[in-house]
Structure 1
Amino acid sequence: MTEAITYAYAVARDADGSLEEVLPGLPGVGDASVHLVRVEPDDDVVVAVSAVPEQDFQEAALRAHLEDLDWLESVARAHNHVIDALAAHTTVLPLRLATVYLDDERVRLMLQTRREAFAGRLTALAAQVEWGVKIYVEAPERAASPADLPAEAGLSPGRAYLSHRRAQRHAREDVYRGASQAAERIESAARVHAVDRVQHRPQQGELAGGPGENVINDAYLVPLQHAQSFRADVLQAGEGFPGVRVEVTGPWAPYSFATPADVESMKRVVP
């Protein structure tokens, strides 16, 4: 029989006990049933958890799984689905993907130790959502070989090639200059609505999520009443820059703002 450990999705506030009504039929990782862990039966700060096979989340196995994009996508979808279901009803602090404990009791002890910090962060994030803002640069393609370039009057193929490369370099510089200007305008527009900002590392490869080079990858914390105005103003601020594409995603649970400043990052595996 496969041993089970506890997978933790998020810390949440359950002031009136209504989250219990959300859980029936809510599938977690591996379609496991999700339940809540509390320090005391009437405590309003809870952790949403489910059971997962220990063999899949041991350190060596987990490292291997994280290289398996199909497995990783399946876990990430389930993880985010649980968080989104909770966030539709209350304030949540999403935990990192693949945060696991040996059992529910270990989760309860963690919550008991950090409850005050979690409660303070839940209060601070109430009625606020996260928006993601990414800026992409779609720079001109690299120059073709001299033989593939059209002839320019009075220029040898070599000089034509150098002229083409020079023009291309200037065009590329113009695009990046436009991206910098767009970033300044977007930040200014975002500040009108947002109460906090986190600057993430630009994404590369498959994580970039679209054509072009991701040069800005920011997250903003925005009060619910400003959510749609934030999106509209940011998109408008990013208009008019050739070769620059702005992507606004959300609203999300406050993933980038969840961890209290005085609490160390959650470990993926707690012995």
Structure 2
Amino acid sequence: MRSSEALAEQPGTPDGATATYVFAVCRRLDPAVLSGLAGLAEGFPVRGLRCGPLTAVVQHVPAAEFSEDAWQQRLSDRAELERCARAHHEVVTAAAVCGPTAPLALATLYRGDERARQALEADADRFTAVLARIEDHAEWGVKVYLPTSSPTASPTSSPTPAATAPVPPLPHGGGRAPHGAGRAYLERKRGLQQAREDRHDRALRTAEDIDAALSRLATAARRLRPHSPEMTGEKHRLQILNATYLVTSVCEQRLRDAVAGLRHRTGAEVELSGPWVPYSFVGEA
């Protein structure tokens, strides 16, 4: 259920009408780890809600401020969206201290605690399977970059006199054009194109080699779409791999060592981030 369904009346709360926001689902939860967390709404504590064998991490929020229209406004406000995402992540991370925790998507709301309990209990088998799969695991992100600069100049940059010289006309009566500046220019363009294709192929092979090496250390892996230089704002380097790996705690040091070795062997920039709560490996939970 989404924020448009969060319309239940909750008597005894400061604003009357509230919805129940769900951050995550876990098997066990120490309420002390949630103490002092602001969550997404002031005046409402972040707390646990028993849902059969599981516990949901929830918070009452004012329904009017978390309606579908209100969420659309948040999505269009980058600063507000970032604030909500950080608050959501802070709560999920705190709960994960107690054991495996399945984060729910941002803006998961129900019409009160009872509706949340019913929906989550109905999905208890799936949550139980997810929690078993990610227990004693963490998510690690890996981004790999290669420099975009080329030792070979672009065919459109700083043309040489030979490149700009006119092609001699054909002699009267036909015949082939003599070897000269025009052919040299075409050969140069073909060489530059071939060099670009070779660099692209090498980059793909580097990405595949790194992903294969790290995947062997992981329980599961996901390849994400690499970010373009326009998206990252970094024109001097090209992202060739954007991936995430589900890794057991006993393999974490092996992962770090493997990344260090791959940096040395490939010459690529390999950025490792984590450990994170395994957001990418909980399916739709």
Name the TM-score class by shorter chain: 0.7 to 0.9
Q: Which among 8, 12, 15 is matched to residue 26 of structure 2?
A: 12
Candidates 209, 225, 241, aligned match of 1:216: 241
RMSD between superposed Cα atoms in Å: 3.1
Q: Distance in 1 between matches of 2:230 and 2:107?
A: 20
1:111 equivalent to 2:120? Answer yes
Structure 1 position 123, deviation (Å): 1.7
Structure 1 unmatched ranges of 5 or more: 260-264, 267-271
TM-score (ref. length: structure 1): 0.78
Q: Secondary structure of the equivalent of 1:22?
A: helix
Matched with 1:262 is: none
| Amino acid across the alignment from 1:5 | A
CA distance in 2, matches of 1:255, 1:180: 27
Deviates more, 1:122-131 or 1:199-208: 199-208
Following superposition, the deviation at residue 167 of structure 1 comes to 5.7
Question: TM (normalized to structure 2)?
Answer: 0.75
The question of 1:227 aligning with 2:259 is answered no
Does 2:29 align with 1:37?
A: no
User: What secondary structure is seen at the aligned counterpart in 1 of 2:34?
Assistant: coil
Q: Partner residue of 1:102? A: 111
> Would the aligned equivalents of 2:154 and 2:192 in 1 still touch at CA under 8 Å?
no
Is the Cα–Cα contact under 8 Å of residues 9 and 99 in structure 1 kept in the other structure?
Answer: yes
Give unpaired runs (5+ residues) of structure 2.
Answer: 1-14, 167-181
Bigger shift: 211-220 or 102-111?
211-220
Taking the aligned partners of 2:70 and 2:230, their CA distance within structure 1 comes to 23
8 Å Cα contact 2:163/2:185 also seen in 1: no
Q: Which residue of the partner structure matches residue 174 of structure 2?
A: none
Equivalent AA in structure 1 for residue 39 of structure 2: G
Candidates 111, 131, 134, aligned match of 1:122: 131
Deviation track 1:19-77 (CA, whole Å, cap 9, x = no partner) reads 2121111221245521011125xx4x211111223233322321232121001100011
Deviation at 1:81, TM superposition (A): 0.8
Of the structure 1 ranges 217-226 and 165-174, higher mean CA displacement relative to structure 2 is found in 165-174
Q: Specify whether residues 12 and 246 from structure 1 end up closer, same or farther in structure 2 by C-alpha distance, changes over 3 A only.
A: same
The answer on whether the counterparts of 1:140 and 1:171 sit within 8 Å (CA) in structure 2 is no
For 1:189, the equivalent position in structure 2 comes to 213
Q: Could you tell me how far 1:8 is from its partner in structure 2?
A: 1.1
Larger radius of gyration: 2
Q: Which amino acid aligns with 2:49?
A: V
Determine the C-alpha separation between the residues in 2 that align with 1:203 and 1:2: 45
Of stretches 208-217 and 47-56 in structure 1, the one that deviates more from structure 2 is 208-217
- State the AA in 2 paired with 1:33: P
Structure 2 Cα separation of the partners of residues 58 and 205 of structure 1? 36
* Residues matched between the structures, number: 252
Q: What are the equivalent positions in structure 2 for 1:74-153 lying under 5 Å apart?
A: 74-140=83-149, 149=158, 151=160
> 2:231, 2:22 → 1: CA distance?
24
Residue in structure 2 matched with residue 269 of structure 1 by the alignment? none
Q: Is the 8 A contact 1:134 1:248 kept in 2?
A: yes
| SS of corresponding position for 1:216 | strand
1:156 corresponds to which letter in structure 2? T
Decide whether the 8 Å contact of 1:35 with 1:50 is kept in 2: yes
Q: Which residue of 2 aligns with 1:24?
A: 35
**Equivalent position amino acid for 2:164 in 1:** S
Distance 1:80 1:162 in 2: 55
Partner-residue secondary structure (3-state), 1:149: coil
